[in-house]
Structure formats: structure tokens, C-alpha cells
Chains A and B, each alone.
Chain A
Amino acid sequence: MSPLPFDPLLVSIAAPLALALAIALGLPKRWSVLLAYGAFAIPVLMALHVWWHFGDAAKDHGYAFLTRYSTGLDGLGIGLKLGLNGISLPLFVLAALVGFAAGLYATQSGAERLKIYLMLLLVMQGGLMGVFASVDIFFFYFFHELALIPTFIMVGVWGGRDRSYAAMKLTIYLTLGAMVSLLGLIMLYVKSGAHTFDLIVLRDHLAAHPLAATVQNNIAGLLLFGLGVLVSLWPLHTWAPLGYGAAPSSAAMLHAGVLKKFGVYGLIQVALPLLPDGLAYWAHPLAWLAVIGNVLIVGLITIAQRDLKQMIGYSSVMHMGYAFLGIAAGGIIGPGGVVFLMVAHGLSVALLFLLATAIYHRTQTFAMDEMGGLAQKTPVLAAFFVAATLASIGLPGFANFWGELAIFVALWKFSPLITALAVAGVVISAVYGLRSAARVFFGPPTAELTKVTAAHFPADLTLKERFPALILLAALLFIGLWPKSLTTPINAALTPQISAKIGNVTGR
């Protein structure tokens, strides 16, 4: 247990939700903004607290800080059970950090109807903290949906170009993904015979009574399809660039940075320990889909993008391909690398979305052809952007490098050919990443840009913009330079699962 007199996990979920409710019930605007700082900061404090105490906290099946609250569905084996293991801890911290940055950025964004905007962000934040803190699969799903709804509204109301169409498309695709994965989870619940959604109990139960191979394959297939849509697995990825292109920056930061990781996280946390044979059955088709579709095809599409925000959207689709590859590769290193990559990518893509909006405020356009030479006017912004781009490409020193490296190492044992193709993807991402940085910041300014800058001289990043960006960049560097801070808990969480799997295989 944590030394705090209250449950830090519950507080980190409840604080944003409570403030959102208070705003909905008519809290005045001045107070709303002030209190929002607090509501975004509390999860960060709680996350840092649990991260600090995780190593020496008492654990059950690798989960620390376990508490269970009844919501009245005990008869169905559903209850709000909160806890963190080595896989959810990094993502829990990620959600808190990105949420804090997105919240800070939103308070200074001057969005119309700021109160409602903040309220929706807070609901999203509460949902995100809940997703990674839930040990009960039902609530894990429930919190994901809770965080998803505000995205639709934020895209539809505060979005940019094509917002209405983008919101509709996003909603339908993500509902499809969510419903299919719900079907898979229901099937898991019924077929396991344990009549509980508690992940720990399910794991013990299934270790003793493993599911038949066909059942595992069917459930894994449903989960891969459903969660695949949510993580933009090719060819069901088209909602992502469109949605991110239209989404307001804070919503894009939270969704692309954190919420999208739900699908991959679900595969690692639920499917990997409970359905090892099912995942192994689908590993090859999944790997080929990911490497050809997500990495190569989408990678080439990314190169062709002219719109900065769409390009970042496509690049995030591409990087999710590596996550699927890591899951397909299996072992400890594969999924471990995926968790690492998710944290790194979450930080870097959120930073990129933040900076893209900052650039838009200065150039009034997202079209990269119409920018150029911005570095002379805004050197700090340029430095941040180049750093974020390098991180996203996977330069050593940044967190992304370690994640991709681990995935490639695991992938080599799985299939050298796929590994070769995946490594080629790194070149692609270097091409579009560096090209975008060059187009936006270097070279002579274009005629359009000169016209805009003549009207009002573009100021460099303001302090209020710099602070959230700095948080994200610092986290990226910290993890990149000291990867052990993440690998120790991840390793500890993944090791017993794999050995349990081997036990199953030999025992059958």
C-alpha cells in the first residue's frame, strides 16, 4: 500500500471527473480555469508518487496498490478494482504527464467556450487514468469509452477543417472497434467459465483451465480486429489522420498520445497472458499486415503529405505498426519494447501536435509548402520541433530509440525478412521527419509566409507554450538516457506471464 491516507489511483481518476461535474453544474469561468490546473496536476502528483513507491510496494501477482470498490455488480463478477503492474505503471504515468501538458496548453489556447472545452478534457483525463488503473476488464473498457466520447465532441465543435465529417467518421470507426472488442471480451468472460472480469482471477483460472485452441483463436481474432481498429491497424486506419487533422490540439495530444494506446495495451495486458496460443495463431498475418500496411504503405503516404498535422497523424499510424510487430514477435523483449515505445511515442506525438498548433498560430496555415525559414524568427520553436522530430525518428538518446531497438531485436528471431522491411521503415520516417523540419523552419521564407509575418511579426514560443512542451521533452530525454527506470517494472511484469505460458504449453 502507498503511505498516503487515501487511494492515489482513485483520487487521480476522481479529481478530474469531479471538477468536470462541478463545471457542468455551473462553476464560474475564473474558478474553472484555476481549479483545472489543480485537477490536471493531481494525477501527475499521484502518478509520480506511485511510480516512486512502486518498487517497494506490496504486490499481488505483480499488482501494487490494489483496492476494490463495489458498484453493485458483484453478482456478475464486476467491480471497480484498481491497481498497477509494471505494464500499466509506465502508461499511467504517461497519461498523467500528457494530460497535464494538454491541460496546460488548453488553458492558454483561448478556445471558444473554454469552460466546456476544459470540462471535456477533464472527463477524458479521468477516463484515461481509469483505463490504466483498472484491473477489472469491464472497467478497463468502460473508462476507455468514457474518454472516447469527449473526443468526438471536441473534434466536432472545436475542430478545424472538415470537422463535422471527421467527427462522424471517427465515431463510427471507433464504435465499430469498441463493439467488436466488447464482443471478444464477453466471449472471454463466458468461455472462461470463471464468471468474473477480474484480470487477476481470470489469469489464475485460465492458468489452471486453459481455453481450447479454437476458442482462443476466435477471441484473439475478435480482439485483434476490434482493438486493431482502435489503434489504426491498416487498412482500418483512415479515421486517424483525418481525425487528428481536424481535432483541436489538446484533444489530438490526449488521443494520439495516450488513448490510442488502449488497444495495444489491451492486447498486452489481456490477450497476451490469457490467450497466448490465440495470439500466436494470428502472429504472422498480424505481422505482415503491420509491416506492409502500417509501416511501408502508410510510411510512403506520410512522405507525400503536404499538411503538417495530417503528416503527424499518418506518422502516428505508422509507428503503431511497430507496436503490432512487437506483439507479434512475442517473448519478453517484444511486448516489453512495445510498452516502452508506447510511452515514448505518446510523449513525442503529443509534443509534435502541440508544436504543430503553435506553428499554425504563427503562420495561419498547416500547409508545409507555404512555410519555410521560420527558424530565423522563432528559434526556440524550431529547436523544440527538431528535437521532437529526432525523437520520433528514433535517434539514440531519446526514448523512442530503445523501444524500436527492442522490437527489432525480438522481431529478428520471429522473421528476419519482416525485420528487414521494418528497419526500412525507419529510413522512411527519417525522410518525412527531416523533410518536414526542413520545409517548415529552414530555407528561404515563402511569399505567403512573408505576407502573414508582415501583418504581425511571429513571436517565439511564449512561456505558457514552452512549459508543457518542456515537460514532454524532458520526459523523453529522461527515459531515453535512463531506460532502466521503465524496463525494470516492465520486465518484472512480463516475466511471470511468459513462464506461465510455457508452463501451459508443456502441461497440455
Chain B
Amino acid sequence: MTLEAVKLAAEANQWGAIFPELLLACLALALLALEIVLPKKLHAYIPDVALAGLVGTLGGLLVNFHSATLGKESFNGLLLHGPGGQVMRVFFLLTAMLVCILARVSLAKQKVPRIEFYHLVLIITGAMMLLAQSNHFVMFFVALETVTIGFYILVSYFRTNTASLEAGLKYLVMGALSSGMLLFGIVLLYGVAGNPTLPGHSASAMHYPALAQFLVANPHNFLAGVGIVLVLVGVAFKIGAFPFQIWVPDVYQGAPTPVTAFLAVGSKAAGFAVLLVLARDVFASYDWLVTPALTAMAAATILFGNIAALTQHNVKRLIGLSGVSHAGFLLLGVVALSGPVASVSATGAIYFYLFAYLIASFAVFGVMAHIGGADDSEQTLDHYAGLAKENPFLATILAIGLGSLAGIPPFAGFLGKFFIFMAAFEGGARWTLVLAVVGVVISIYYYFGWIKAAFFEQWTPPADTADPRPARTPVNVVSGIALGCLALASIFIGFYQGPLGQWLTMK
């Protein structure tokens, strides 16, 4: 390498732009190194290192939130560091922290290796952060596959449990299928946009701005339309939107509870971060295709998720299907964004909804982690009967989390739904909005049924056998503080949005 090349590389040093992701990758490797180096009795502290590292990264990110790279592309346009990407980085770091806290509760009940779990969580988090900022289909696909492959392992992490293994296989097959479709769509788009006989063609059509330019110049190209639909299908698999939600109940049930939470919150949010950019910026000129497709998908997803969740008795399936309905509400926000009358507040509404969903979901998953026994996949509403008497703390957290998920004031979830509904109305999705209202009313039944089980019902164990329910795990200090903070945050954000609200209502 000549001196000139080194100089150029130094001048164009863009590694600082992805410093948080690099930090996570180094931390992930350091965990493995620590496992080799440290004596066995100190291994219990390695998860704390992961958690501390995440907290540190989040702190650094928040301090440098308005960094110099904000709004700029880096790595030849592979990444775009927009404000949305910055918000999603914070989101994923929070998610990872909470997953680590849940894992400490759940993994303690299993005979499985510990450290690799945290390693994978950190890697996936880094990849999701890159995914949310991707500005190029290559970056997008590579980051997405990193996330998905990490999840293949995590879903079947309880390898002695058949349900976990089955879930892993299902996730693998469905994930591979969706990746295939996504890749096919990308290739079609790349191919057609590279056709030199068409106006606006580009040699680097994987680059979002170049592709968007091409799509504007060819607003009714059939092949491009097929490519767009396939890309949307690939993303729809990840967010669990109807009709690509079939894997959700089984995988959510079989996966270890922290992984279910990670899938439900992290993976879904990653999908929406991508969809937001695609529908709003890249595919904007194909709104004649994207908007009807997403509208139909949103309506079907809301109805399916809520109706299917009605009859569930296993809470992990229930929360999975309710998560499907939340994907539907979020899709409604994306519809508002991609429609002919784009709603200005929709982007902020979607981010707010995601954060409210994060806070509420982890409160519920946190309680689930404490209720579940050694067989993580079997957890029914019966396990919650009498919880309010035995452990009022967990019961209160559960009620607040479920109330927020149901979208009841004064919890943050209400504001999320409210903003989404307002955006959808502005965006002209009136009839889908009516369906969404019906969906909310249906959802009250099963969320309330869960609260009812915890608060109103008494548990009488069968007389002849031992109590089939696993013992409840006592709440330790860290998870207790985390759950308490989540519950208080749900209430506090519901009452006072402060700078968060001011930021979200900005364009």
C-alpha cells in the first residue's frame, strides 16, 4: 500500500460513524475472550459485563446524538445516518439491555451455556442498528441476514427442549423462504433499473437514491412492480404481517422467553425501520401499488391477529398473535405515510408507537420470565391465577404492561395508538381505521382476560396430584428495578411526553 492510499483512507475515515456498532462487535468478542481467560467462578459476572457495555454504548450514543455525521451518507452510500436511524439505534440498544436482563432470569432455570447467548444478542443488536441505517440493498441484505442467522440459533437455544428445536427449524425454513423472496425482489429491481434502454437507469441501482430516481422516471414498470412486491413480502415475513404470519405462534411459543421478546420487539422494529424508509422514500413513486398492498395487509393483519389471539390459552402464543395485531397497527402508520396525502406526523407516530410497544412488551415479557418454569414453552393463563395475591408487584407490572398494549389511557400505548390513528385519518385510510377500532375492541377481550386471570381468579390445585404449576421465580433487584422502571415509564410517558413529544411532532 502506498503512502498516498493510506492518506486517502485516513482522510475518508468513516469508521467513527458506526462507532456504536463497532463497540458492540468488540464487546461481543470480548465476552468470548473473557470466558476463556476468566476462572470459572467469575463467569457469573460476564453477563454483567455485557449489560454494562450496552449501558455505556447507549450513554455514549445519547451524548453524541446530534453527531457531525447526522444526515450524511458513509461508506460510499451504504449507510445513511438520518435522525430516524439514530432513534432506532437507541431503540435497539434499549431492547438488547432488556433482553439481557430477562435472560438472567430465564437462563438460570436451564442447563445451557450462558455466554454465547449474550454474544449473539450483541451481534444481532449491532446488525439491527446497521439495518435501520442502511441506504443500499447490499447493506440491507447483509445486515438482515446477520440478524436472521443469529435468531436461528437463539430461537433453538434451549436445545434439550423439543418445542424450542421445532421453533428453530420453523424459523429457519420460513426465514430462508422470505430471504429468498427478498433477494429475488432486490435482483429484479437491480436488473430492471440497470437496463440502459430505460430512462433514469443507473449502474448502482442497489443504492436507494439511485433506485428511487429510476422509479420516479418509470412509474409503471411491470418488472419493477414485481420486484417491489417481493421486497415487501420479504419484509412482511419479518414483521409478521398477514398472510406471512404463519410462523409467529409456533416460533414465539417455542423460543426461550427472552428470545421471544427480542423477536417480538427487536426484529419487528427492525422490519418497520426498513419498511418506513422503503415506503416513504424509495418506493414513493409506486404509491399506486404500495399503498393498496399495505392497506390490505394492515387491515387483514389487525383483524387476523386480534381474532386469532382471542382463543389462545398459552400466553406465549397469545402475546405472539397480539404482536401480529400490533404489526397491523404499525402498518396502518406506514400506509398513512405512503398514501397520496402523506401524513406529516406518521413517522413520529410510528416511532412513538414502537417505543410504547417496547416499554409495554418488556414489562409483560418480564413477568412471563418470572412465571415460566423449566419448560419455557408451556405457560398458560392458569399459571397466572391468583398472582395478585401471591405477588402483587408482578401482577401490577403485568396489568400496566397489558393495559398499555391494549391502548388504554393513561398508559403510553394509548398515545401510540392515538397518534397512529390520527396519522391514518390524515393519510386517508378511513376504512382501515374503522377496522382498527374494531380490532382494539376485540383486543380488550384477551388482554383483559389475562388481567382477569391474574387478579380475579383463584387457583385451586387438583386434589390428587401435585401442583402442576411451576414455582414462581422470586424477583431479584436488577429485574425488579427494570420492571418497575418500565411500568413507571409507561405511566409517565402517558401523562407527560415533554421533549419526546416535541421531538416526535417535529417533521
Contacts and interface: CB of A to CB of B under 8 A. Distances in A.
Contacts of A142: 409-410, 414
A175 B501 contact: no
A183 B420 CA distance: 12
B496 interface: yes
A76 B410 contact: no
Q: Give the contact-size bracket for chain A.
A: 20 to 34
Contact of B445 (A73, A152, A164, A172): A172
B114 interface: no
Interface in B474-507: 495-502, 504-506
Main secondary structure of the interface of A (DSSP, over half): helix
Contact of B441 (A74, A179, A189): A179
Contacts of B445: 168, 172
Nearest to B434: A183
A141 B499 CA distance: 23
B179 to A, nearest CB: 38
B448 A72 contact: no
Interface stretch (B202-210, B220-228, B421-429): B421-429
Contacts of A141: 409
A189 B440 contact: no
A163 B498 contact: no
Interface string A187-199: 1011000000000
B342 interface: no
A76 B440 contact: no
Given A146-B410, A182-B418, A71 B441 contact: no
Given A156-B455, A163-B456, A171-B448, 18 more contacts: A71-B495, A71-B498, A72-B498, A73-B505, A75-B504, A75-B505, A142-B409, A142-B414, A145-B408, A152-B448, A157-B456, A168-B452, A172-B448, A179-B440, A183-B437, A186-B425, A187-B425, A190-B426
Contacts of B440: 175, 179
B433 interface: yes
Contacts of A190: 422, 425-426
B500 A72 contact: yes
Contacts of A440: none
A268 B127 CA distance: 54
Best-surrounded residue of A73, A156, A163 (most CB of chain B within 10 A): A73
B287 to A, nearest CB: 20
B134 interface: no
A171 B444 contact: yes
B249 interface: no
A417 to B, nearest CB: 35
Interface in A64-107: 71-76
A73 B425 contact: no
B403 interface: yes
Nearest first, the 9 closest Cβ-Cβ pairs linking A and B are A75-B505, A72-B501, A72-B497, A145-B409, A72-B498, A73-B501, A179-B437, A175-B444, A156-B456
B441 A172 contact: yes
Interface string A391-402: 000000000000
A183 B444 contact: no
A141 B456 CA distance: 28
Contacts of A72: 496-502
A152 B456 CA distance: 11
11 contacts: A72-B498, A73-B502, A76-B422, A76-B505, A145-B410, A149-B408, A172-B441, A180-B437, A183-B421, A186-B422, A186-B425
A146 B409 contact: yes
Nearest to B506: A75
Given A156-B455, A157-B456, A171-B444, A183 B505 contact: no
Given A75-B505, A76-B505, A175-B441, A157 B422 contact: no
A220 interface: no
A179 B437 CA distance: 6
Nearest to A191: B425
Interface in B431-486: 433-434, 437, 440-441, 444-445, 448-449, 452, 455-457
Interface in A124-173: 141-142, 145-146, 149, 152-153, 156-157, 163-164, 167-168, 171-172
A190 to B, nearest CB: 5
Contacts of B437: 179-180, 182-183
A243 to B, nearest CB: 14
B345 interface: yes
A149 B411 CA distance: 11
A167 B456 contact: yes
B224 to A, nearest CB: 33
A167 B444 CA distance: 12
A163 B457 CA distance: 11
A386 interface: no
A164 B408 contact: no
Contacts of A477: none
A71 B497 contact: yes
Nearest to A156: B456
A39 B11 CA distance: 66
A207 interface: no
A176 interface: yes
A114 B457 CA distance: 19
A142 B457 CA distance: 29
B502 to A, nearest CB: 5
Contacts of A146: 409-410
Nearest to B430: A187
Contacts of B410: 142, 145-146
Nearest to A75: B505
Nearest to A74: B502
Interface in A43-82: 71-76
Nearest to A24: B396
B485 to A, nearest CB: 14
A152 B418 CA distance: 21
B436 to A, nearest CB: 9
A179 B441 CA distance: 8
Contacts of A152: 448
Given A72-B501, A149-B403, A183-B421, A164 B441 contact: no
A40 B443 CA distance: 34
A172 B500 contact: no
A176 B434 CA distance: 11
A164 B452 contact: yes
Nearest to B502: A72
A153 B497 contact: no
A146 B403 CA distance: 11
Given A73-B501, A74-B502, A157 B455 contact: yes
Contacts of A24: 396
Nearest to B414: A145
A168 B345 CA distance: 34
A187 B433 CA distance: 11
B433 A183 contact: yes
A76 B348 CA distance: 11
B441 A176 contact: yes
A31 B329 CA distance: 44
Nearest to B499: A72
A87 B437 CA distance: 30
Contact of A189 (B396, B422, B434, B444): B422
A219 to B, nearest CB: 12
B250 to A, nearest CB: 29
Nearest to A177: B441
B421 A164 contact: no
B87 to A, nearest CB: 16
Nearest to B496: A71
Contacts of A145: 408-410, 414
Contacts of B455: 153, 156-157
A73 B448 contact: no
Contacts of B345: 76
Contacts of A164: 452, 456-457
* Most chain B beta carbons < 10 A, residue from A152, A163, A171, A187: A171
Contacts of B421: 182-183, 186
A76 B445 CA distance: 31
Nearest to B399: A153
Contacts of B409: 141-142, 145-146, 149
